Amino acid sequence: MYTRGYMKKILVIAPTPFFADRGTHIRILEEALALEKLGHQVTIATYHIGSEIDSSVETKISVRRIRRLLFWYKKLEAGPDWQKIFLDLMLIRKVFNIARTEKPDIIHAHLHEGVLIGWIVKSCLFWRKMKLVSDFHGSLTKEMVSHSYLQAGMLKKIFSLIEKIIDNLGDAAITSSDENTQEIIDFRKDKNVVTVLDGANQDHHKNLPSKENLKREFEFPSGKIIVTYAGAMVMNKGITYLLEAIPLVLAKNKDIFFVIAGFPVEGVSQFVAENNLASDVRVVSPLSYFEMPKILLASDIGVDPKDSSIRQASGKILQYMAAGLPVACFDRHNNRTYLGQGGEFSKQACAQGLAQAILSLAASQDKMREKGEINKVRIKDFSWEISAKKIEAIYNQ
């Protein structure tokens, strides 16, 4: 049962170039903002690069960055990089100094690297009796494999062992999907794992122009159904499924226009050029998280091609729902939890299945409208306030 506790000092560890316009960062930001609204004092320790959040939102959250010793490191997109080892070593020092001087009640560590850093600092300052909450966003090893950073063999086995060790760290663990929760419960000794689903900030969708006015603003082709993907354009987000589905969709329905928004853009732009799709596909990059509601409200269908291989949730689905869009996606437990009857699901995780889901929605204005309305109602059950209260209840335990 949810009960309010006293205000806590929370030190958030974000081993990433916070803030960048992608899902991991959105979860870190919105959780922190929602916890701040509940009255907690939040400090975020992160890398030396990334956008400053106070330029986009009203907040007193303090973002503390490591020194710019690796001044040449400017990578914002997701994926492993050996230089992150040095950045994480510097982040250990930053977190240690903050924890030593500011005495947080809770260390809330995101991602496997953040959990390891949090455990090291908590262990070094053991007499402070700080609690460590581990916030896992997916499988470390599976993500590295999906980025082609690990192949089968001894190195993969080593990282898999390290991942299992880290999964056992912390006084409590939370994940962003039931799939990841079940995987961690299987080998976490205390079984103390809770799913805290992503949310949607519905305030971002208020006081915006009408759909037709936004379509004119973005100069989308008149009379066509706008199918939009908004997110990272990398392999483990399923972008290949989407790209391969586009020609299949257009072969059966030329009244569909695709918008692919996010970063990094190189692979998508190359695919569009090589397949002569420039008249049927608009690539938008970069796409600010705070501007994303406008482009979604100008759309008719949202598409999420992520499969379950890396056990990540699909926060972009919630953004589509907040915009009142029907969603074409794969038949995953997490997607069903979000969408219910508001989704058009492909049983198979493949380009052909995704194409059929898109075509099925596009074939019926009534179906699109009905599922969009369902999602507008369902999104009320997935606010960041609900997620923050669930996290606060874990803190209070």
SS3 (DSSP) at 99? helix
Distance CA(394)–CA(107), nearest Å, equals: 12
Q: Could you tell me how far CA 161 lies from the centroid of its own chain?
A: 25
- Measure the CA angle with vertex 305, ends 300 and 311; round to 5°: 130
Q: What is the pLDDT of residue 147?
A: 62
Q: What is the pLDDT of residue 1?
A: 47
DSSP string, 294-344: HHHHT-SEEEE---STT----HHHHHHHHTT--EEEE--HHHHHHHGGGEE
Distance CA(234)–CA(221), nearest Å, equals: 27
Q: What is the pLDDT of residue 153?
A: 74
pTM of the predicted structure, to 2 decimals:
0.91
Beta bridge partners of 133: 108, 172
Q: Which domains does the chain possess?
A: 9-199+383-396 (3.40.50.2000), 202-381 (3.40.50.2000)
Q: Which residues of the chain have pLDDT under 70?
A: 1-5, 146-152, 236, 309-312
Q: What is the pLDDT of residue 237?
A: 78
Distance CA(204)–CA(57), nearest Å, equals: 11
Q: What is the pLDDT of residue 156?
A: 83
Burial 142-177 (b: 16+ CB within 10 A, else e): bbbbbbebbeeeeeeeebbeebeebbebbbbbbbbb
Contact 61, 35 (CB under 8 A): no
Structure tokens at 40: 């907690």
